[in-house]
Copies of this chain bind each other. A is one copy, B any other.
Amino acid sequence: MKFVVKTWHYKRFICLLEIIAVLLIGADMKKRYINVGIIGYGTVGKGVVKILEENKKIVIRKIGTPIHVKSICDLVPIDKSELYVKNFHNIIKDPEIDLIVVLVGGYEPARTIIVESLKEGKNVVTANKAVLARYWDQIFTTAQIYQRSIYYEASVGGVIPVVQGLSEGLASEEILEIKGILNGTTNFILSEMTKNKVSYEQALKNAQQAGFAEADPSFDVNGIDTANKLAILASLAWGGWIKVKNISVRGISDLNIEDVLITQDFGYNIKLIGSAQKTRDGVDLSVQPCLVNHENIFVTVENEYNAVMIKGKNSGDVLFYGKGAGQQPAASAVVSDIINLSKFIVTNTAGIIPDVVYDNRKKIKILPTGKSRASYYLRFTILDKPGILSKIFKILGDFKVSIANLVALPDIYNKDYGRVIIITQETYRQNLEKALKYINATKSIVKSVPFSMKIEN
């Protein structure tokens, strides 16, 4: 706290110098234009330049000043050769540049670029969720110390203005819960499986053909991308640093078309949901495929769309919905960040009041995974012999897992086996896991490892 006060005095001193400069040389306090440097010139970077060029008038109307792309850095030379800079340090050190747009993926050099830019007094816009989630502490502490801003709307939910919605739109709220479909690739795959009744592998191929899955989709399908975004929203909501390792993560690659079809008959669709919920014993954090009933608004979120539901104490549920993947939506979100941040740059106030409330001494209590409570869908492939069902019920009961709904069916693929579908009452996850492990380990009950999936309320 003391340090902040000190930098404030330093800031005031700089401000005084600026004013004296104004008196002496008549320079205007209001900037005549905003100089932007872009580092990373892939599809999103190209989209950003295009939108800025197309919307010059909108920009001037909004901030009274043009935004000028001064330099662009990329590994390889670009079409706009007059703007090309080979070494990103030349952009970071350029005293004429006010704002640096970091569109480099992965951890390095993205982290170095962001931190060094802030230290050089630049404001930053980025779409890189991985680096934010992993280096939240370093990045926002640096931003506070150097009194600069970092905007990152495009990092979560594509075009959806949920970062701003959470930090400003719901500024007065004590946040109780955040729940979202945060990854366009997996949502597209799940939509394909549900609508076209195709296997996971086929649905993934369709997503790749439609341009919504990369050649290596592992970060998306294993849930890590969703976890990065959830970590960002949760850190923002509760003013501390919630790490990806605090989140229990399960992806969608082990999903079976059979479960998609069965659960549809029960009145559910499957969605990959990132969820952060305040409980008395800590924040319950998970990314997992969940059953969502057909009246839930998340069911209408299809294909590459994302949606985030935020529950505040007074607001109740507030939902934000829009395209979570694609070049244009991502570029649009980046340009909105550039415009909104420029409003502060114009008046020399960017970063004076931190945009992200972050106190690195604040420890947020995390609920242990096993203490999480939910209802579950269970599927057992059982040996078709008398007495098996009662054994399963007995074990579930011993571990305090109560049954809400049950169906037993013959296995359509092999008449020696039967299938049992159970919907449980709300139960502790650790109890369920122990029960399933026990059932699996007990001889002559199940043919394969029991399958379970959370049911979303």
**Across-interface contacts of A16 in B (CB, < 8 A):** 19, 22-23
Cα distance, A357 to B321, chains bound together (Å): 25
Cα distance, A112 to B196, chains bound together (Å): 60
Closest beta carbon of chain B to A312's beta carbon, Å: 7
Q: Within 8 Å of chain B (Cβ to Cβ): is A316?
A: yes
Please judge, given known A-B contacts A16-B23, A322-B319, whether A328 and B314 are in contact too, CB under 8 Å: yes
**Across-interface contacts of A153 in B (CB, < 8 A):** 169
**Across-interface contacts of A55 in B (CB, < 8 A):** 172, 174
* Residue total for A at the interface (Cβ-Cβ under 8 A): 65
B22 near A335: Cβ-Cβ < 8 Å:
no
**Across-interface contacts of A19 in B (CB, < 8 A):** 15-16, 19
Interface stretch among A61-69, A384-392, A399-407, A437-445? A61-69
Q: Which of B47, B169, B349, B352 is A165 in contact with, Cβ under 8 Å? A: B169
Contact with B along A283-301 (1 / 0, CB 8 A): 0000000000001110110
Q: Within 8 Å of chain B (Cβ to Cβ): is A84?
A: no
Interface residues of A in 322-351 (CB under 8 A from B): 322-323, 328-329, 331-333, 335-336, 338-340, 343, 346-347, 349
Closest beta carbon of chain B to A187's beta carbon, Å: 14
Q: Within 8 Å of chain B (Cβ to Cβ): is A315?
A: yes
**Across-interface contacts of A96 in B (CB, < 8 A):** none
Q: Which of B312, B316, B336, B346 is A170 in contact with, Cβ under 8 Å? A: B336
Q: Which of B174, B316, B319 is A329 in contact with, Cβ under 8 Å? A: B316
Q: Which of B8, B161, B300 is A169 in contact with, Cβ under 8 Å? A: B161
Given A47-B314, A64-B353, A343-B353; 18 other pairs, CB 8 A cutoff: A16-B22, A19-B19, A61-B357, A61-B359, A159-B312, A161-B165, A165-B165, A165-B320, A169-B336, A172-B339, A295-B300, A312-B332, A314-B328, A314-B329, A314-B332, A346-B353, A347-B349, A349-B349
Q: Could you list some 16 contacts between A and B, CB below 8 A? A: A8-B30, A15-B29, A55-B174, A58-B171, A63-B353, A159-B316, A159-B318, A164-B164, A168-B340, A169-B336, A171-B336, A172-B338, A318-B323, A319-B319, A320-B320, A347-B352
